[in-house]
Structure 1
């Protein structure tokens, strides 16, 4: 499956340097650990000797040590040492996954990587920018998480007063299909009755707001203001299973000398807002299970980016050509 050929965040580099980490990707369990020469390695989280999880062990001189009998494995998955016997089993080897460290995260690819490295988070570490990170577990598949992050109408109801409130004002949306996904740009977007707009920017400034889906598992929400303020929210979705997604979100913003003060307000507010999304998608998941476990969705014109998300992910999953770039259209929404 081609979705396996992309990079997904497994854990943080800091956590792996401290001890082996148990992670799950596409329903498969892996252990990620600090291997030889400072490298990070990943292999199936199962000792071939007695099938205990290797993530419960430790690392010694770049080798992963099983907590049951002390069998030691190199970063390439090969058995290196059996403490209880002078000989070894040279043919014993655990399946591994591709592993790379970038932006403070450890990324895994369990197939054949289509790119040498993952997509970088914008403005991370750049001068004048402040960044904070979040990690949340969603009881929803990747496509539903991406739709939620890139869906404006839901914010009027789920985040009432915090991020949006119903105004019933007309908004023009420009939809563009791109070579790596799709983008929606919102024009004349209402900004009344919102804690975010009241606290984070001057309501008299002009705003350019774009929501972008980058196949197969990334969303970007980008706000640029005429007074040179700017913030961008990037979420990378890791498919743990068919119904669970771990979402790593990086929020970077530029407000000049106010950056430290803005963070004191912006970071806890972001946790509140994304927590509301977690709760809503959990309610959605539970109700789908209550009605037999199969989602039955009706899609309207207000679901701007969902068709692109579903088309791209279906094409990659089936190893077929992705949707062509170049299509553009305008829609009218009321927010």
Structure 2
């Protein structure tokens, strides 16, 4: 059932005149554009002799197989078979499986399940809005989706993995409230320390009050908001594409409001974000390597693991078609950061 959701297959600009292969749930697919420029997604094998269609080419909006030249429409139908006599009717059974595919927010999204849970993917917040600046990051993690989401929505790890870059070890008490939602859960932090942090020394004013929320949106999206009383606002949204059960492509959209000099802030904010994400890539790779060494996970939960239980329960509920956590639940947590 996790397959019935929209996942990013590639940046829209990556899909031009040539077909683009991609993987979802350890299965191979191929993207190409029809003659009107609309994207289509097919299973990456020809119906004739199973050659990879991604090794072929786009011929006027039809995907041509490199083996015998069969050409396919975006709906999966074979519409041209060179070996057949001219004007021969082509059977409707000569087709490959096609999947729902849309272009939105500069990305090509695909659903490889039987039926999408929604008509279209959710939009990234404030993307293209006046007064907001945006940049996009694409990162390959050697970790499953759940591990990536836990990492992105976990405050305590930043004290160690991103020490002095994003957070410094102050051991100050912090209150948090976790609320279950219709589509996941959100955690809100109070009296969060910001001293000795390169990120916040550059991106926030010392006297500005901070409102910080971490949100899990089932099944594979995280959203982090930092809202300051001086109207500065930073949103980090990460959409996780499950390449396999141990590898995830993460498409991160960082949108922020800083005023007229947002373009200037981006000059150092973007490379700094890439470095911080690299630190996460490194620790998650080490984590997965150790899980592989032992052959299984052995996780323990403590109260400061605010959103991890919701990530696990929601994804398990979707996979098994059982009820997810009910909305409206709320609990308070004390932690140190």
Q: Under a length normalisation based on structure 2, what TM-score does the superposition of the two structures give?
A: 0.97
Unaligned runs of 5+ in 1: none
Q: Which residue in 2 is equivalent to 1:41?
A: 40
Q: Which residue in 1 is equivalent to 2:69?
A: 70
Q: Which residue in 2 is equivalent to 1:126?
A: 129
Picking from 204, 207, 211, the partner of 1:208 is 211
Picking from 311, 317, 321, the partner of 1:315 is 317
- TM-superposed CA distance for 1:89, in Å, is 4.3
Moved more, 204-213 or 32-41: 32-41
Q: Which residue in 1 is equivalent to 2:30?
A: 31
Moved more, 50-59 or 219-228: 50-59
- Write out per-residue CA displacement over residues 178-222 of structure 1, whole angstroms, 9 at most, x where no aligned residue: 111000001000001110011111011001000000111110000
- Write out per-residue CA displacement over residues 147-188 of structure 1, whole angstroms, 9 at most, x where no aligned residue: 000000000000001000100000001111111100000100
Q: CA RMSD in A?
A: 1.0
Picking from 283, 291, 295, the partner of 2:294 is 291
The answer as to whether partners of 1:143 and 1:310 remain within 8 angstroms in 2 is: yes
- Write out per-residue CA displacement over residues 89-124 of structure 1, whole angstroms, 9 at most, x where no aligned residue: 422110111111110111111121111110110010
Picking from 131, 136, 141, the partner of 2:139 is 136
The answer as to whether partners of 2:17 and 2:58 remain within 8 angstroms in 1 is: no
Q: Which residue in 1 is equivalent to 2:335?
A: 333
The answer as to whether partners of 2:135 and 2:254 remain within 8 angstroms in 1 is: yes
Q: Secondary structure at the match of 1:285?
A: helix
Q: Counterparts of 1:158-177 in structure 2 under 5 Å? A: 158-177=161-180
Cα distance between partner residues in 1 of 2:52 and 2:285: 29
Moved more, 86-95 or 270-279: 86-95
Cα distance between partner residues in 1 of 2:43 and 2:170: 51
The answer as to whether partners of 1:230 and 1:253 remain within 8 angstroms in 2 is: yes
Moved more, 157-166 or 257-266: 257-266
Q: Which residue in 1 is equivalent to 2:255?
A: 252
Q: Secondary structure at the match of 1:296?
A: coil
- TM-superposed CA distance for 1:10, in Å, is 0.5
Q: Secondary structure at the match of 2:236?
A: strand
Q: Secondary structure at the match of 2:288?
A: helix
The answer as to whether partners of 2:61 and 2:73 remain within 8 angstroms in 1 is: yes
Q: Which residue in 1 is equivalent to 2:281?
A: 278
Cα distance between partner residues in 1 of 2:214 and 2:195: 20
The answer as to whether partners of 1:82 and 1:88 remain within 8 angstroms in 2 is: no
- Write out per-residue CA displacement over residues 55-78 of structure 1, whole angstroms, 9 at most, x where no aligned residue: 111111211001222111111111
- 1:9 equivalenced with 2:8 (yes/no): yes
Picking from 305, 308, 316, the partner of 2:307 is 305
The answer as to whether partners of 1:36 and 1:75 remain within 8 angstroms in 2 is: no
Q: Under a length normalisation based on structure 1, what TM-score does the superposition of the two structures give?
A: 0.97
Unaligned runs of 5+ in 2: none
Cα distance between partner residues in 1 of 2:212 and 2:168: 17
